[in-house]
Structure 1
Amino acid sequence: MSGISPTQDTAAAASSWDDLVTTALLGTDRRPPAEAAPGREAPVALLDAAAVATVRRRAGLLPGRAAPRPEPAPGDPRPALPAAAARRLALLLADRSGGGGGRRGSSPDLTELLPQWLAAANAHGYAAPPQALPALLDAARGRTDLRPAALAFAGPRALWLARLNPDWRFALRAAPGGGATLPGAGDGEAVRRVWEEGLFAERVALLGALRARTPGRARELLEETWRKERAEDRLMFLDSLRTGLCAEDEPFLEQALGDRSRNVRATAAELLSALPGSALAGRMAARAAACVAIDHTGNSAGIVVEAPLECDPSMERDGVAARPPAGRGERSWWLGQLVEAAPLGMWPGRLGGRTPREIVALPVADGWQGELHAAWSRAAVRQRDAEWSRALLGAPSAPEAGGPGAVSLAERAKLLAALEPGERAAWVAGFIAAHGLSEAFQLLGVCAVPWAAPLGRAVVDALDIARDAGSYPWSFSGVMGLAERCLDPAQAAYLDGLLAIPDEREDAAPGSGGYWAEAFQRLVGTLRLRAAMAAELEPDTP
C-alpha cells in the first residue's frame, strides 16, 4: 500500500462505487459483480460489496470546516425583572392554547393577558430574562399583535438571536433599518454615507430617526436627492415628514405638488392642508368659502351650499382628485375634498362669527348637511381640533345620524381621538347610558386604558342590564373581552354582586344565566390577576 497515493486510493474507491451502481442498474444477470466472493449468489455478493463500500465512504469523510463563532450577544443595561414577575412571564409564555371556540369557562385567558403584561413591563423599563427570549420570540412570531411590545421588551438581544434563527427573521424586518445600527445625528459623515449608500430600509429608518430629533436635517437630506429617487421611494420618504410637521416644511411640500407621481402630489397636499397657515390651506379656504355661505332668505339663518361645477387643473395640483369613486357624484366629491382641506379656523368668520357648536347646529339647505358635516369631521381629525370635534360629536344621547354630529359611529370614533382622555371616556360613558352596548364597541376601542371609573361603571351597568333583560349572552362576548383587558382592576369589588347565577326569565336565551355568571366570574378573576401582575412588577415587591 505504501506505493499508492491517497489520491489514487480515492479514485479507485470512487471507480469501485461507480461499478457497483452500474451493476445495480443493469442487473446482475447482465453484468455480474466484479468483486463477487466465491460461492455467493450474484445479488447477495452485490449487496455485500455495496455495504463494504458504504462503510469505506463514510469512514473516509473529513469533518467540515467550523463555522465562525458568532459575536457575543449585546448587553442590556435595563434592570432585571423582579423574581415574581419573571415567574409570571414564564407561565404566560407557557400557555399557548389560544382562545379557541365555544365557551371559555370562568378561568382567565392567559394569552390575552400577555400583551398587557408586556406593556406594563415596558413601562417599568425592565429587561427580558435571557432564558425567556426564545419563547418570547416564538410567541411574537405566531401573533403579530404582540410583536411591537415583545420586541421592545426583548431588546437588542432579540435582533442578535434573529440573525441566528431564520424563524425569527421577522424581528429584523420590524426593526428600523432591518436591524442595522443607525448613526447618531451628530455624525454627519456617517449620516450622509447611510443616506447615499444604504439600503432602502436603512434610509427610511434614518430619515425617521432624524425627523424625530432634527426635522430640518432630515428635510435637507431629502431635498438633496429628491429628483433622483423612484416614485414609490419618494412617497415613503415624504410620509416621514408627518413627524414634526412644521411651517419650515412648506416650501419643499409646495414643490412636491408638481411631482410627476399622483400619489406623491396627494400626500404633499394632505400634509400642507394640515398646516393651517400654508399657502395651499389659503387656496383651499378661498375655494371652500365660495361654496358654503349663510342663507339669509328664510325666517332663520341657515347654510346654503353651491358645490363646484368643475375640477380645474389648479385644484388637481392642490390634491383634489377629479374622478370620484363609484356611487359618488362629482360635485359632492369635489366639495368634500375642498372643505376637508380648508382650515377650520376660517369658518367662524365666514359664517357670521358663530362658534363651531353654533355652526354645526345650523340647518343646511338641499340635503347637503351629511356631506358638509362629514367633511368637517375629516378636517377636525386631520387638524386635531378639539373644539370642532366636540361640536361635531354632539351630545352622547343624540342618535347616530340625527341632529348635529358625525354621520357614522366610525367617524365619531375618530373625532373622539382629538379629545383629552377624561373627556373622551365621559362622552362614551354617556353614549352607553343612552344607547347601550350594541353600538359602542368601536367607541370603546379609542378610550384610554385602563378605563376611567365612570366609563367602567357604565360598561358594567350596561352588561348587568343586558343580563337582566334576558339578552342573548354571546352577542356581548366582544365587549366582555374588552372589559377583561381594559377595566381598572380596582373595580373588581364592584362586580362581586354579579357572580351568582340569576333566575332566568321565560323569554331569555336558554342557559344564558349560567353563561352570564361564568363570564362575570372570569371577568373578576382576570381583574384580580391583573392586579397581582401589576404588584409583581413593582420594584419593591419582595
Structure 2
Amino acid sequence: MDRSAAPSAGFAADGWEPTLAAALLGAERAPPAVPGPLADLVAASGAAADPGAALLARLAAEGIHHLAGTGFGPEALAPTEPREAFGPECPPAAATRLYGLLVDGQAARNRVAEWFDLAAAAGLRPPAWLFQALMLHRDSLPATASAVVGSELAWLARACGEAPDEPLVGAPDVSDWTTGTLAERRAAFAALRARDPEGARAALEPVFRKEKADLREALVHALETGLSAADEPFLEACLDDRAGGVRLAAQQLLQGLPGSRYAERMAARARAALSIESKRRLLGRSTHTLVVTLPEESAELARDGVEASDWERRGGGARAALLRAILARAPLHAFADHPPRLWIELALRSEWAEPVFRGLFSATARARDPAWTEAMADVTAEASEGRISGVRRTDELLRMWAEALALLPGAEWEARVAALIRARKIEGVLAVLGSGPEHFSEPFSAALLDWLAFVTRGSDALRRDLAKPWVIAGLGDRLWPGDDTAASAAAILARLPEEEGDRLRTQLTGMTGTLELRAAIRRDFRPETTVGGNARG
C-alpha cells in the first residue's frame, strides 16, 4: 500500500504521524485534529472536553487506522494466555489503601506486608488497575505477595514481552543449582534440598571442593533445610575446610544435631569444666558448690570453633572465653545430673558467673528445652528482685531477666508480664517490653494499654521513666490492631499533659498513628467499608 498516495474518496487520511508528533508536544500544545470521520469518532466518544483524554482517543483511533493495512496475518489476532487470578478482587477501599502504601515506599513496608497477609487470609487480590504500581515495586514485595498476585504479575510481564530478571519473592528458580549467581544457586539448591534432602547432599558432595569459598559457605548454610543425622559425616569433613566461613557454617549446623560427635565432644568438655559438689549437712540438708575448671586452648577446640579472640587474650580472659563457648555449644543433657534451677542459681553465685551463666543461657536459647527455659526465667526473675542470696541486683541482671523471659512461648511471656502489670511493677514491665512476642494478643494488649493509661496519669517522674527506654513507639507494630485498641491509644495521647520537648508524646503519637493505620487496613477489607477506609456501614 502506498501511503504517500492521496486517499481515495470516502477514506480518511493516515493521520498517525501527525497525531504522534502532537503527543510529543503535550496535550495542551497539540494542534487540533484534522476534520474527518476519525475526528468525528473522537468527538462522539465524549473525550473532547479534556485535552489529555482527547489526545489519547486520537492516538487510539489513528493507531488502529494506521495499522489496518500493515499486512498483519491471522496469527496476529491470536489471544493471549488466560490470566490466572488468586481470588475475587478486594474491596475498593482496600485497593486504594494498598496504592497509598506503595506510594509511601520504604516507610510503609511493614504495612504492605500486613496488607498482603490479610489479603491472603481472606482469599482476595488487588484489582488490575494496581498492576502497574505493583510491577514497579516487584522486587520489594513481601513473600505473601507471591501467592496473592505473583501469577498475575508474571502474566502481565509475559504479555508485555518482558521477562523479569528476578522472580517475585518466594518463587526461586529450581531448575538448576549448578549455574547462575551465588544467590541464585543457593536459592535453587535450598529448593532442591527442601524437596529431596538426601539427593541434594549427594549431588553436592562430589563437586563441593571445586567451588569457590563463598559459594561453599552458602551451600553449607543451605543444608539447614532438612538437616538430619545423615548430614553429619559431610559436615564433619567441612570442619577441616580451608575457608573459615565454611568451617563456621558447619559448626553452627552440627550444634543442631544433639546426637552428633560434635555435640558429644562438647558435652564431654562441659562436664570436665563444670560440676556440682554436694555435701550432706545435719538434718538431712545438703549444700552445693559449683566447681569450675577453666579449659586450655588447643587445636582440637579450635577445630570445633572454640577460640579466644585477641582482645580476650590481651585482657587475660582467654580461658573464661573458652569456658563460655564450650557451655554455649554443649547439649543440655551434659547437665542432666542436677535440676536446671540448681545449675542456674549456682552459676549466678559463682565467681565465674559471667562465662558460666552466659554459656548456659546460650545453650538454653539454642535448645529451647521447656524445663531449662522456665527455670531460666524463674531464677533470673527472683535474682532481679533480690530474692536469691549471694546475688546482687544490677541493671545487667535486669537485662538478663528480660532476655530469659523472651525465651518463653508467647502466651507464657504474656501471662508473666500481665502479672507484673497487675502488681504495678513499672520497672519490671519497662525492662521486658523491649523483647517478647512479635505480636500481642487482644486481651494482653488491652491490659497493657490500661497500664499505660495508669502510668501516664502519674507523676512527671513516672512519665520520664516510661519514655526513657524508647520502647513505647515500637508498640504500635505489636499491639492488637483493632478499633478498640486504636481508640484506647488515642485517648491516652489526648489526656497526656502538654510538655515542651516531651519525647513520651512523640512516642505515643507514633504508636497511636500506627495502630490507627493498622485498624483502618482491616476495616478496608470489610465489604461495607467506603473507599478511603474512613467510614463503616
- Matched with 2:265 is 283
- Matched with 1:53 is none
Task: Check 1:414–1:512 CA distance in 2 against 1; reply closer, same or farther (3 A cut).
Answer: closer
Question: Is the contact made by 1:266 and 1:319 (CA closer than 8 Å) also made in structure 2?
Answer: yes
Aligned partner of residue 295 in structure 1, secondary structure: strand
- Matched with 2:99 is 93
- Matched with 1:341 is 329
Task: Check 1:464–1:163 CA distance in 2 against 1; reply closer, same or farther (3 A cut).
Answer: farther
- Matched with 2:288 is 301
Write out aligned runs for 1:414-429 (5 A). Answer: 418-429=407-418
Q: Aligned AA for 1:301?
A: H
> 2:475 aligned to 482, 486, 493, which one?
482
Task: Check 1:99–1:214 CA distance in 2 against 1; reply closer, same or farther (3 A cut).
Answer: closer
Task: Check 1:474–1:138 CA distance in 2 against 1; reply closer, same or farther (3 A cut).
Answer: farther
Which segment drifts farther, 209-218 or 286-295? Answer: 209-218
Q: Aligned AA for 1:206?
A: A
Q: State how far apart, in whole Å, the 2-side matches of 1:156 and 1:280 are.
A: 45
Q: What are the superposed Cα offsets for residues 72-106 of structure 1, whole Å, 9 maximum, x if unpaired? A: 67843421233x2x432323322567599xxxxxx
Q: Aligned AA for 1:462?
A: L
- Matched with 1:132 is 130
- The Cα shift of 1:365 comes to 6.0
- The Cα shift of 1:390 comes to 2.1
Q: What are the superposed Cα offsets for residues 394-442 of structure 1, whole Å, 9 maximum, x if unpaired? A: 3685576976999677766665565333113223444565326544443
Task: Check 1:419–1:439 CA distance in 2 against 1; reply closer, same or farther (3 A cut).
Answer: closer
Question: Is the contact made by 2:116 and 2:148 (CA closer than 8 Å) also made in structure 1?
Answer: yes
- Matched with 1:331 is 319
> 1:492 aligned to 457, 480, 485, which one?
485
- Matched with 1:48 is none
Q: State how far apart, in whole Å, the 2-side matches of 1:341 and 1:384 are.
A: 13
Q: State how far apart, in whole Å, the 2-side matches of 1:516 and 1:424 are.
A: 24
Question: Is the contact made by 2:328 and 2:363 (CA closer than 8 Å) also made in structure 1?
Answer: yes
Q: State how far apart, in whole Å, the 2-side matches of 1:511 and 1:269 are.
A: 48
Q: Aligned AA for 1:529?
A: A
Q: State how far apart, in whole Å, the 2-side matches of 1:531 and 1:477 are.
A: 27
Write out aligned runs for 1:193-232 (5 A). Answer: 194-197=176-179, 199-232=181-214
> What TM-score, normalized to structure 2?
0.67
Q: Aligned AA for 2:227?
A: L
Paired positions, count: 438
Q: Aligned AA for 1:94?
A: G
Which segment drifts farther, 131-140 or 334-343? Answer: 131-140
Q: What are the superposed Cα offsets for residues 337-378 of structure 1, whole Å, 9 maximum, x if unpaired? A: 1111111122022xxxx2212321225565212221111121
- Matched with 2:112 is 114
Q: State how far apart, in whole Å, the 1-side matches of 2:156 and 2:396 are.
A: 49
State the identity as a percent: 26
1:311 matched to 2:297? The reply is yes
User: Structure 2: where are the runs of 5+ without partners?
Assistant: 1-75, 282-286, 530-535
Q: State how far apart, in whole Å, the 1-side matches of 2:503 and 2:213 are.
A: 57
> What TM-score, normalized to structure 1?
0.66
1:449 matched to 2:461? The reply is no
Q: State how far apart, in whole Å, the 2-side matches of 1:79 and 1:328 are.
A: 64
Write out aligned runs for 1:233-244 (5 A). Answer: 233-244=215-226
Question: Is the contact made by 1:495 and 1:524 (CA closer than 8 Å) also made in structure 2?
Answer: no
Question: Is the contact made by 1:293 and 1:304 (CA closer than 8 Å) also made in structure 2?
Answer: yes
Q: Aligned AA for 1:114?
A: V
Question: Is the contact made by 1:78 and 1:126 (CA closer than 8 Å) also made in structure 2?
Answer: yes
- Matched with 1:155 is 150
Q: State how far apart, in whole Å, the 2-side matches of 1:323 and 1:519 are.
A: 42
Aligned partner of residue 242 in structure 1, secondary structure: coil
- The Cα shift of 1:212 comes to 2.0
Q: Aligned AA for 2:121?
A: A
- Matched with 1:80 is 88
Tell me how large the CA RMSD over aligned residues is: 4.6
Higher relative contact order by CA 8 Å / sep ≥ 6: 1 or 2?
A: 1
Q: Aligned AA for 2:150?
A: G
Q: Aligned AA for 2:479?
A: C
Question: Is the contact made by 1:397 and 1:430 (CA closer than 8 Å) also made in structure 2?
Answer: no
User: Structure 1: where are the runs of 5+ without partners?
Assistant: 1-68, 101-108, 184-193
Aligned partner of residue 118 in structure 1, secondary structure: helix
